Amino acid sequence: MTIDVPQEILDALTDVDMPRLPPEAGPSATARLAGVEVPIYRAGCVVVGSGAAGLRAAVEMKRRGDDVVIVSQSAWGGTSACSGSDKQTLHTANTADQGDNYRAMARAIRSGGAMDEDTAYVEAVGSSRIMASLQFLGLPLPQDPLGGTLRYQTDHDEVGRATSCGPRTSRLMVKVLAEEALRLDVPFYNQTTAVKILTEGEGADRRVVGILAMRAGDRTQENPLGIALFVSGVIVLAAGGPGELYRDSVYPNGCFGSLGLALEAGVELVNLTESQFGIGTRREGFPWNLSGTYVQAVPHICSVDREGVEHHFLAGYYRSTQELASNIFRKGYQWPFHATRMLDFGSSLVDLAISRETAAGRRVFMDFNRNPLPVPGDLPFSLGRLDEDVRLYLGKAGADQQMPIDRLKHMNPLAIELYRRYKIDIAAEPLEFAVNNQHMNGGIMVDTWGRSNLAGCYAVGEAAGTHGVTRPGGAALNAGQVFGTRVAEHIGASGSAKRAASVSIPAAAEAGIADLLTALRAESALAVKAIRSAVQARMSEKAGIICDQESVAQALFEARKLNAEIRASGVAYGRAAEAVRGVQWRHMALASEAVLSALDFFIRNGGGSRGARAICDADGESLPLASSGPLEDYRFRRERETHRNEQIVVRLEADEIRLSTRPNRNLDENEKSFFERDWPAWLTGGIYDLDTKEHA
């Protein structure tokens, strides 16, 4: 029996209107720097990014009496506000029945390796608090009649710690946090792109003194590029991940993140080898992840060649109709590609097959009006002939309807409604999709308070490299909220952002502006379009789910060459608006070299296949099999256990990428807190590990 959800409820959970921003405060002064009349803004802390993580940091700082402003390239235009899946997940401690063991949850979060154990525990123990606070702000997480939060199982989650408001969970999070930020009078500067972090000092004494931005609202005859200076001793980088790195991407357009920005400032990055790839609709139309109930409805998947001929290509990979259909279903909670799941006819064989079809020039479709076609020579599809885990799940869900579209409507009508909002009716026509890049698990290296190696610079959300190789679906939303709160607590305890910075204009500002003007050259032969095409094609074709040592090394050589050309010739621009993109693509080209450097380092040092990628090698120990025979071209290396215990650190020194490794930070699970012993550290601020400079 299908329960019809009233249209007004579907509308409320699908069309999420965002609040209107108030008028912006003007600059406190102007100054002529490097020949440009530059507006000067002052703040105790500048948060770069207006997604869920950045908003959480700003709200918590404002509550603690700090002077904080938010700068955003495009408010409500990032991944938090514009991305999602069938029922986008928030992964928190499961308190619906027996509660949760935080140490067990931490072990699950870090289970893929290359993740700090203390960070995983911070995310676990902080999850209950952030969920409760989001509910307090009005996030409509579903409950049972007795007040328990409804839960389900997601990828890399064997317990069922996932919950959801539907496909727009993160947008609803942004909405309630934005409304709170506006209630607290947090100033927003929209259409403001951070382009250079300013620092002073040398070595361990180096610290943040401000940030340069480019603002359409500050363009004048004396400042045609709209360069603005924000004077502040504290910044929080919360601008999301490097979504523009890949051509085949499910990120919304225009998501550049801040990895290049951070590298230029000497900030260390970590785990850049680790990303998530999975099936979804491409950014050219409506980018969206096809996890959860989209595939648990068990639709037919096919490809169409250039002549319009349809191919039942998955039948060449799986041995029976039951095996094929069951693995389509498993993509629901095994959504990210994982090399080991190509073995034993597992669910990532679906990703490999789709990737091969698109590489061959065929378009791949998901058809909700057809059940999977039978494997030749085998019985037709039947809900009664599915693997036990699949049959039990669909049985509990009551999804016994004859057609996939009816099963989907029963389990999750919002999944259908969402595409209709973008004029795609999956109830009427097949849905085109591909394997896309979806999330950067690496990023800026931070400690358990969100601090980077650069004093005064913090990172939260996808900008922070806290996730390791794998993470449970929805753990990223949790991490951004937990660390947004942690960062605010630390900044508040330091006293470094209690009032707007009153220091004189940093000497680094003039040099920074001069560097920007040198990098942007109208006469340069290097156009943004050419840089974008080169970077995205290289990353998608050489650093996607299938890699090999020779291809990655060649890609790195080409990336280094491109960055040398950018340094020598600058980036061309026509209109002032194009100058912003020029700086962002300079940063993206640098981030691409950093990712490829880390990946090349990993592979050359014997790195094997794990979450993000299969490292193909003719001498590899692992061989995927298909029903048609061994897939020798995709023989891959196994992961080395030692690599799970360390992380690759990336930094930029004098235009050269430097690489090293460091062991994961450990957590002694036998160490227990004791109230009377540990309370003084809380009372005196000892828990924050502050140094004397941060009290100044």
| Residue 150 within a domain | no
| Residue 494 within a domain | no
Q: Give the model's pLDDT for residue 99.
A: 66
Res 694 pLDDT > 50: no
Residue 310 to residues 354, 362, 371, 429, 684, Cα–Cα distance (Å): 14, 9, 15, 15, 69
Interval 463-476 mean pLDDT: 90
Contacts of 149 (CB under 8 A, 6+ apart): 94, 95, 96, 131, 141, 142, 143, 163
Burial 210-225 (b: 16+ CB within 10 A, else e): bbbbbbeebbeeebeb
Q: What is the DSSP string of 384-450?
A: TSS-HHHHHHHHHHT---SSHHHHHHHH-HHHHHHHHHTT--TTTS-EEEEEEEEEES-EE---TT-
Q: Is the dihedral of CA 461, 448, 124, 687 positive or negative?
A: negative
Q: Which of 99-103, 198-202, 608-612 has the lowest mean pLDDT?
A: 99-103
Label residue 160 by pLDDT band (50, 70, 90): confident
CB atoms within 10 A of CB 521: 15
Label residue 97 by pLDDT band (50, 70, 90): low
Tell whether 430 and 528 lie within a shared domain: no
Interval 540-569 mean pLDDT: 97
pLDDT digits (tens, 9 = 90+) for 274-298: 999 999 998 877 888 898 899 999 9
**What's phi and psi for 94, nearest 5 deg?**
-85, 105
| Residue 597 within a domain | yes
Place of tokens 């029945």: 97
Give, rounded to a whole angstrom, the gap between the first and last alpha carbons of the chain. Answer: 66
Q: Give the model's pLDDT for residue 577.
A: 85
Contacts of 178 (CB under 8 A, 6+ apart): 18, 19, 50, 55, 76
Q: Give the model's pLDDT for residue 95.
A: 63
Tell whether 409 and 532 lie within a shared domain: no
| Residue 392 within a domain | yes
Interval 311-324 mean pLDDT: 98
Please give the share of the chain, as a percent, with pLDDT higher than 70. Answer: 98
> If residue 552 lies in a helix (H) or strand (E), which one and from where to where?
helix 549-569
Cα radius of gyration (the chain): 25
Contacts of 624 (CB under 8 A, 6+ apart): 342, 343, 349, 352, 630, 631, 634, 635, 636
Q: Give the model's pLDDT for residue 117.
A: 97
Tell whether 415 and 539 lie within a shared domain: no
Q: Give the model's pLDDT for residue 98.
A: 61
The residues that bridge with 437 in the sheet, in sequence order, are: 249, 277
Measured CA to CA, the distance from residue 424 to residue 417 in angstroms comes to 9
Tell whether 426 and 549 lie within a shared domain: no
Biggest CA pair distance of the chain:
79
Q: What is the DSSP string of 556-567?
A: HHHHHHHHHHHH
Tell whether 303 and 403 lie within a shared domain: yes
**Total length of the chain:** 696
Contacts of 526 (CB under 8 A, 6+ apart): 565, 566, 569, 570, 571, 572
| Residue 122 within a domain | no
Measured CA to CA, the distance from residue 682 to residue 684 in angstroms comes to 6
- Beta strand 192-200 with 90-91: parallel, antiparallel or unpaired? unpaired
Interval 318-331 mean pLDDT: 97
3-state helix, strand, coil in the chain (%, to 5): 40, 20, 40
| Residue 33 within a domain | no
Tell whether 287 and 372 lie within a shared domain: yes
Tell whether 405 and 524 lie within a shared domain: no
| Residue 623 within a domain | yes
Angle at CA of residue 250, ends 245 and 251, nearest 5°: 60
Classified as helix, coil or strand, 376 is coil
Label residue 693 by pLDDT band (50, 70, 90): very low
Classified as helix, coil or strand, 279 is strand
Tell whether 521 and 614 lie within a shared domain: yes
Domain that holds residue 569: 511-644
Which two structure tokens, joined as six digits, stand for 122? 């911070």
Res 523 pLDDT > 90: no
Q: What is the DSSP string of 46-90?
A: EEE--SHHHHHHHHHHHHTT--EEEE-SSTT-SHHHH---TT--E
H helices of 242-335, in order, are 259-264, 293-296, 321-330
Q: Give the model's pLDDT for residue 50.
A: 96
Nearest Cα to 489, choosing from 202, 27, 66? Answer: 66
Q: Give the model's pLDDT for residue 146.
A: 86
Res 3 pLDDT > 70: no
Measured CA to CA, the distance from residue 114 to residue 468 in angstroms comes to 5
Where is the domain boundary, 626, 644, 662? 644
| Whether 476 contacts 225, CB under 8 Å | no
Q: What is the CATH number of the domain that holds 631?
A: 1.20.58.100
Label residue 96 by pLDDT band (50, 70, 90): low
Tell whether 424 and 519 lie within a shared domain: no
Kindly report the average pLDDT of the chain as a whole number. Answer: 93
What's the domain count of the chain?
2
Where is the domain boundary, 605, 621, 644? 644
| Whether 221 contacts 241, CB under 8 Å | no
Tell whether 526 and 405 lie within a shared domain: no
Nearest Cα to 454, choosing from 266, 613, 227, 585? Answer: 266
| Residue 91 within a domain | no
Contacts of 364 (CB under 8 A, 6+ apart): 301, 302, 303, 354, 357, 358, 432, 433, 434
Res 153 pLDDT > 90: no
Tell whether 295 and 404 lie within a shared domain: yes
Higher-pLDDT residue of 96, 409: 409
Classified as helix, coil or strand, 249 is strand
Tell whether 408 and 537 lie within a shared domain: no
Where is the domain boundary, 407, 435, 463? 435
Interval 56-69 mean pLDDT: 98
Nearest Cα to 4, choosing from 414, 297, 410? Answer: 410
Nearest Cα to 443, choosing from 427, 424, 459? Answer: 459
Burial class from Cβ neighbours inside 10 Å (0-12, 13-18, 19+) for residue 40 reads middle
| Whether 128 contacts 95, CB under 8 Å | yes
